[in-house]
Structure 1
């Protein structure tokens, strides 16, 4: 097999005394037939190279499918006068959203069948999905390409008919209390930034919609929603590090929005409402946030009253507010904690608090769907590497927790066969980095198991620890699977994010390398059989670590990787670029430019041996454009000195998340696993 060879056409960019050389910039021309021809040639080569694993991929797909209950129903939740839920059916790619009026014993009403929307479409994703207060109207948005470009439509749930309303490029959508007014945001045409808020009244032409607010700062996106008690519409304007909010009584949609507190750089705040008071989560006193209250009549910071202080060792990730209690969603020692705090009366004082206790050393826990404000019950979701996704209901009056549903895993899953644990790896500067592991207990052999390591480490995103039945196909073949909570993520609060962004971004990569080395030293895996995986900013991680330490890894799976850091961040016309200055830095500044250049994967490819690599992208990705991985592979082919396979696959009909249908997505995972198994010389397929 001869891999495709992309034509080289030199383009140079000189800045700060450095000249960037880009031989493959022409691959940006999406409509150029030569570009499509090249991508299709890479797909054909990938298919040919993976042909020997065809039967293995089919086996893996069948295994994964056997662990999924194809016909199932979600836990119903109450909103207004209805119980809402979704259901899936064997053979259908997408869910059907349904409801029952008043009682779960009532007749089912179909709200939206995504399978019908997806008929004759190669891709389908739902964006907004919100029902009017009276339950009569559904406002929803769809993307049929994968480019995160959503079209808003309104359905009359009484008749099942679509209204004439149709708006393009819509982001957030929320109803006013009258059931006739919709607030929605739209994106600009170039940067895909949600920047305008409009008010629309049902039955009127789109041309008559009123522009309420326009965000001028290119770092900021806007979004609109309702407080849990439904009394206010809240307009949020936020960058990666700064936010501000405005509010409007939901029963006065024609009024003016009121600013809570003017934005200040590096200060974020998020408000909800109860009994005439705003409850505001804010990081003005420390990076990990505190909770304050302020009266609606005078919500500015001079009137803020502290309820929960800032704590250096506890990140206040969220606050779920109800009529008689709130739930503090905290992160401590890298794990999520839920603390239920009961109010003493009408004021903001709390009477007592109780933490929900979780039984495992490694897990994820977070609020589930809680749409009822005046309630004494709270739902939360819990799962771990070995405990399937579960929904519990906590009763404030009794303190009892009731399991409402646990994901059924057919196909002979026995949780007692598996173990999970957490260890700490010491980074090169002495910082302890958490690592979560899962493996099959009866297949663990000191230093002999194939080792799979996953990482992300950007945007303050905390790597979730969840149950995934697809993972069983590797665990049952003896894999030890590790998830590295490296700096740049939010696993240990905002300071953990700060320690892996901007001018200390390289900590993210060196942390991952240190995790790899110490897992091998501790006998968790065979040093000759290490596979790694990451996507998007995690794809940047993959590209950086294989440039720095290619000898550590045997196989790499990289999804929609952000690898062309310099060219992308120097192009302010691209979606996301300007807002991303707060994460990576502004390359128009010399110091930031030189630091980013030091780790940009595309700019640091060298003539040396690299691991086997499967690079995956999508033609309609709006977050990491397809040409980044395409250029990366084209350049890597000209420089790498090894005989390991290098594959590029482009999904020609999808976006950033890959295939949208659940069966199609499963086939993609089966291909990834087949690649890993082959490259790690795992012969017992």
Structure 2
């Protein structure tokens, strides 16, 4: 576990990585391409009488004092190793540098330099963001009354980001009187935000600054009080909800809620109606809410209904009641309602029943309509219900596989629903849908500069039979002319954790692969909620291996169906999807020509055994608690780092960020070192550490495409596509 690095350490890290790993005789090609060999320092880890020896545990910077001062010898050793790996990666991919630059220019060239979001109405102002030519960050703007009035720039992130290696703004919230803007600022990529407040009338920042917080706030109706989420400075967990009054010291901020259970995330928001401040807390299996009238900021929060060990629900206020989306006696969730003055579960009344084949995901409340977002057969649906007559209908979608959902809808009084739509072939599109006339209006479709014709690509939706007989959805796209004779390269993507479903949406950068002959597929494996809540339940805890088996079975399918061959098949996944990549290459390395693992969570057992590491305790119901023998043994049986063995592995590119707070950099670094020790092949094994970024990669609009260009060039070169 480590705390945020000082600027002194960052400069030192950059210095060491700039000079580390250079061979003494750069004219000697043998020496030039010699991969780094990490030092082995045996370290014993014991659990339930089982002893594991970790030879690369030293890569973890465990003492936070080492990060608050000049690097000590151990820190220098880690930086030297990461530097050597970065240098080796750069040299190994040197022949692709021209291709990388070509790919980068292609990808950024497809992006409209003068882009602007679709304005939305909130409290009498139209809000939108826009980009200017050559600038990395958005400019947030608004217009009062209607779109013909003068633009007011409320926040130019480019100005704030000047001189920063990493900069991110998140959680913008305008006060109810429209005069103040609160937002979170992250300059390290650790998702540790400082909340700042800007006076939109004068353009000056208030002296109030709230450090070590989550980005979002909830304004009270008095425009002087805001509620925010404070982080634990060691574990980085969201731990307390505090109340701040403008003009006072943050040292005196009152804690209005403290979460005692470290397995819960917490946060706060204002209801769409504006009448309530809502505190939420959520673990994998349970949620809890506390409510307070927003015009009574000094009052006491009231628990919505008693917390239960297994009960997930969400709430939204409407007139004199709350709508409740709940899995109480409803695996795929159902919709309930309850009066606002007595919200205990015993008073809930059913509005929409549970359905075995439909997952109820979320709702959007309007004065006259209720919109329900559902998932059936792996695809999202939007259901419109008249609040008075209760008549309902579904908004039609255009393609066999797509991504769709409720967009920003701040206006409570309107009869217009804004929703987004895209597919693997169709760029991101925003529609305004009249819920009375059922007519839709195209508000914006992302421009692909240089032109893009969706009809030149074929999208397929396939059901793959898994080894246990279950049917796995898979979405595939390729350019017309792609031959299903096993000769084409294919990239298979997967995630499969936390119930997160990767929908088949558009990516303009992906065109650089498709137009060079690649096919691309998403395996909607268990661990997601593609086929409902049971699909998630069947891919976590003691059923986690279903996730890995599903991906392998999808890979085998595209080979058997002659989409590709094992010498032309590539795989990619990030974070928990990086865990997927690690498990897959241990299980079936022979299926893949190359694998890209981004910020991979591969040292599962060691990380989950250490509650001091950020986010660990929140994950017990996802992966298991290693303090329990059964969980310990199951995690050990699939943890990629613990199961590296002497065998051939595919070509691999591993991407990580030095400041990652979600998957610490040492997990992929240790994994690569251990793979080098055990693997029996001569394939490429590359580690690239971004020294200025965390879990989400580089900040800014364009810099991220440098990393994507590297990943694509790695695959294209292995597929013998050189330009």
TM-score above 0.5: yes
Is the counterpart of residue 190 in structure 1 residue 234 in structure 2?
yes
Residue 3 (structure 1) aligns with: 35
Contact 1:533 1:557 in 2 (8 A): yes
- Post-superposition shift, 1:65? 1.9
Residue 525 (structure 1) aligns with: 564
**Residue of structure 2 aligned with 1:447, choices 450, 470, 486:** 486
CA deviations 1:475-497 (Å, max 9, x no partner) are 00111100000001111121111
Is the counterpart of residue 638 in structure 1 residue 670 in structure 2?
no
Residue 293 (structure 2) aligns with: 249
Q: After the TM superposition, which residues 196-595 of structure 1 pair with which residues of structure 2 at under 5 Å, given as runs? A: 196-344=240-388, 350-595=389-634
State the alpha-carbon separation in 1 of the partners of residues 498 and 368 from structure 2.
Answer: 34
CA deviations 1:558-589 (Å, max 9, x no partner) are 10000001110111111111111100011111
State the alpha-carbon separation in 2 of the partners of residues 62 and 666 from structure 1.
Answer: 9
Contact 2:566 2:590 in 1 (8 A): no
Residue 26 (structure 2) aligns with: none
Contact 1:42 1:647 in 2 (8 A): yes
For structure 1, the residue ranges without an aligned partner over 5 or more in a row are 345-349
Q: Secondary structure at the match of 2:331?
A: coil
Contact 1:228 1:322 in 2 (8 A): no
Is the counterpart of residue 46 in structure 1 residue 85 in structure 2?
no
- Post-superposition shift, 1:4? 1.0
Residue 13 (structure 1) aligns with: 45
Q: After the TM superposition, which residues 68-217 of structure 1 pair with which residues of structure 2 at under 5 Å, given as runs? A: 68-171=111-214, 172-217=216-261
State the alpha-carbon separation in 2 of the partners of residues 412 and 334 from structure 1.
Answer: 30
Q: Secondary structure at the match of 1:579?
A: helix
- Post-superposition shift, 1:72? 1.1
Q: Secondary structure at the match of 1:562?
A: coil
What is the number of equivalent residue pairs in this alignment? Answer: 679
Q: Secondary structure at the match of 1:603?
A: helix
Residue 64 (structure 2) aligns with: none
State the alpha-carbon separation in 2 of the partners of residues 207 and 658 from structure 1.
Answer: 33
State the alpha-carbon separation in 1 of the partners of residues 353 and 672 from structure 2.
Answer: 49
State the alpha-carbon separation in 1 of the partners of residues 109 and 599 from structure 2.
Answer: 28
State the alpha-carbon separation in 1 of the partners of residues 452 and 315 from structure 2.
Answer: 43
- Post-superposition shift, 1:653? 0.7
Contact 2:659 2:693 in 1 (8 A): yes
Is the counterpart of residue 607 in structure 1 residue 646 in structure 2?
yes
State the alpha-carbon separation in 2 of the partners of residues 534 and 122 from structure 1.
Answer: 26
- Post-superposition shift, 1:256? 1.0
State the alpha-carbon separation in 1 of the partners of residues 96 and 275 from structure 2.
Answer: 57
Contact 1:131 1:137 in 2 (8 A): yes
State the alpha-carbon separation in 2 of the partners of residues 150 and 4 from structure 1.
Answer: 36
- Post-superposition shift, 1:210? 1.3
- Post-superposition shift, 1:661? 1.4
CA deviations 1:385-431 (Å, max 9, x no partner) are 11111111111221111111111111131211101111011111100
- Post-superposition shift, 1:103? 1.1
Q: Secondary structure at the match of 1:545?
A: helix
Q: Secondary structure at the match of 2:147?
A: coil
Residue 621 (structure 1) aligns with: 660
- Post-superposition shift, 1:444? 3.0
Q: Secondary structure at the match of 2:244?
A: strand
CA deviations 1:183-213 (Å, max 9, x no partner) are 1111111211111111111112212211111
- Post-superposition shift, 1:443? 2.8
State the alpha-carbon separation in 2 of the partners of residues 127 and 278 from structure 1.
Answer: 28
Residue 55 (structure 2) aligns with: 23
Residue 648 (structure 1) aligns with: 687
Residue 347 (structure 1) aligns with: none
CA RMSD of aligned residues (A): 1.0
CA deviations 1:267-294 (Å, max 9, x no partner) are 1111111111010000011221101001
Contact 1:435 1:483 in 2 (8 A): yes
CA deviations 1:583-602 (Å, max 9, x no partner) are 00111111111111111100
Contact 1:444 1:478 in 2 (8 A): no
Contact 2:484 2:561 in 1 (8 A): no
TM-score with structure 2 setting the length: 0.93
Contact 1:336 1:366 in 2 (8 A): yes
Residue 636 (structure 2) aligns with: 597
Contact 1:327 1:340 in 2 (8 A): yes
Contact 2:432 2:441 in 1 (8 A): yes
State the alpha-carbon separation in 2 of the partners of residues 376 and 154 from structure 1.
Answer: 33
Q: Secondary structure at the match of 2:509?
A: helix
Select between 83-92 and 30-39 the one with higher mean Cα deviation: 30-39
CA deviations 1:306-329 (Å, max 9, x no partner) are 000111110000011111111010
- Post-superposition shift, 1:526? 2.7
CA deviations 1:360-388 (Å, max 9, x no partner) are 00001101110011111110000001111
Q: Secondary structure at the match of 1:674?
A: helix
Select between 203-212 and 328-337 the one with higher mean Cα deviation: 203-212
Instruction: Give structure 1 regions of 4+ aligned residues with deviation exceeding 6 angstroms.
Output: none
TM-score with structure 1 setting the length: 0.98
State the alpha-carbon separation in 2 of the partners of residues 156 and 516 from structure 1.
Answer: 54
For structure 2, the residue ranges without an aligned partner over 5 or more in a row are 1-32, 62-66
Contact 2:88 2:686 in 1 (8 A): yes
Residue 28 (structure 2) aligns with: none
